[in-house]
Chains A and B, each alone.
Chain A
Amino acid sequence: MIETRRLTKKYGGVAAVEDVTFSAAAGRVTGFLGLNGSGKTTTMRILLGLSRASSGQALINGRRYRDLDKPLRQVGSVLEQGLSHPGQSGRDHLITQGLLCGASRARVDRLLAYVGLAEAARQRSGDYSLGMRQRLAVATALLGEPPVLVLDEPANGLDPSGMAWLREMLRDHARAGGTVLISSHLLAELVQLIDDVVIIADGRVRLTAPLAEVAGDRVPRLRVRGGDPNRLWDAYLRAGAEVDTDGRVLFVSGLTAEDAGEIALHVQVPVYELVSETPNLEEVFLSLAASDNPGTTPTGLAGRR
């Protein structure tokens, strides 16, 4: 369980994060989403004891990171890219880190195989590609077999197969009861993976909710193109729907596709197109993440910030 309470970090008079409160539950993957510079990394660094909060608390399993017993056995993390001495081989890097958390060399070799770096194990990590460095970082995070994972943009540099591997690994980790907090500036990167979402913008949390709820709150709308838009408009309004137009196309909210079709039949207007448009989560994310003002939260999501 990860929890932040009213976390604030100021540099001079400028707040990098302010009053950040959210939690990431065990057995779930929590996506920490925000545009670049929104405060994700600052929050994660405070959580991991690398930066000090100006006020507020960041707790892992109820304790500050620095108070955890054998922290690498409890929390694995991926921060920045390519955190290894470039003159050290990938294997030596993992052994060095393994000595910090008591991981055996056999575990190091197993992890190298697991992340697909067995063949490059004795190669200098400075010669690794971006994707290989990211795999090495993930292996480093897993060394202590920690139940909690904190991953800052771990997908950077991974190819599609690497992304699929990462998704599967994190899903398995959560299914086994682990806690995963993963950040990204791209919702599309995480949407197939996360259970819960925390959106941060300008250093403030804009939304915390289960992803399914976010999607569910977005009222689907129908795109209707018929022979007589004006008669259809009137009919749908009379049925209590909200109607918008774009030329000869109507956008109808508050009716099912069946209702919309039957109303069109009833008023004897031929329908050439009737499509239910699924909510676009990327739009939700962008509208929240780019928001300068919490008051601009889209309808349907307000009140859960």
Chain B
Amino acid sequence: MQNVLVLGGGVGGTLVANLISRKIKKQIEAGDARVTVVDEKGEHVYQPGFMYIAMGNQDPKSLRKPERRLLDDRVELVIGEVTGIDEETRTVSLAGDRTLEYDYLILATGSRILPEAIEHFEDEAHHFYSEEAALKLRHALDAFAGGRVVVGIAGMPYKCPPAPLEVALLIEAELRERGLRDKSEIHFCSPIARAFTIESVSEMVTPELEKKGIELHTFFNVEAIDPERKAVMSLEGEELEYDLLVLVPPHKGAQVLLDSGLGPAPGGWLPTDPKTLNVGERPNVWALGDATNLPLSKAGSTAHFEAPVVAERVAAMVQQRKPHAKESIYTGKVMCFFEVGDGKGTLLRFDYENPPNPPKPSRLWHVGKIFFNKTYYRIVPKGRGGTIEKRI
């Protein structure tokens, strides 16, 4: 029996398990192979929807589905917290003294937020990286009657890189609609030399910020929050007072990766081969999605395009064949929508060799994002995403 073990039931883990189970259907049905997903809660959450809880009245319940319903019947699901990975014995330990063996290990453990890493963050700053926080931000926006809004990033890398810019633009549009724009200032703080890491996207979004009167502060790395003076300070010595503070919290990889030594400190991001997605020099361990150290967006889209590569490589090893050349090399492909407010959006599509060339913001791409959000559960985790990509 060959054991394929997938840690994490997010976009990457669910999709890769489904794709592998289809490829090695015969081996599973003959009892020669097994595909198991381990997920802490057994619940799949569509995390990009959190932003729309805060900005667009998204119903939180519609973002969650039981993981079992998304998995192929041939995939086994174990619900439990992973507490250890032992490479020597090829075992994964779970809370409650359970142990699972593996021959092939896929780490789709995602990233986690650490608002507590910055003093006063939890009391003073809002964010939209959990259902609870997004609802709290929605309530704060409902109660907002004008003032200084500061949107910033309190640590890199973080999930969904366009999201803080989208939120700044969407807040601006909302305040304008509510007649509060004249009573408000909006500041966007970027930790780097421009609004966004990718230059072409910065070139697209910076004029949008200017047009909408959103003041851009570059090289603003959040250092401290002063709750008494309602001010956020940067490492570079800048200080901004706020009435409403929205910050992307610091992110890290899964604690178990740091503890096991697979993900080096301080971030715990897995050293991942950019093409094969193997972790380090390990031929039987792969990573995908947020868990990797690859210089790509930490986004479901990245995991979506990585999953077929890992699936082909794992299936080839189980079936003792060479992987298909085209299907087994990841090109760095990522594709995501970018909201700019006023019912408009654009599309970022890029890979390792080709930076994005975002089209002029239009209603089409905003509608595309809403359509994608609504159809995600029917298409992506089950591996039907190719049709969407071809249409775009």
A and B: real partners?
Answer: no
Seen from chain A, the residues whose Cβ lies within 8 Å of a Cβ on chain B are: none
Seen from chain B, the residues whose Cβ lies within 8 Å of a Cβ on chain A are: none
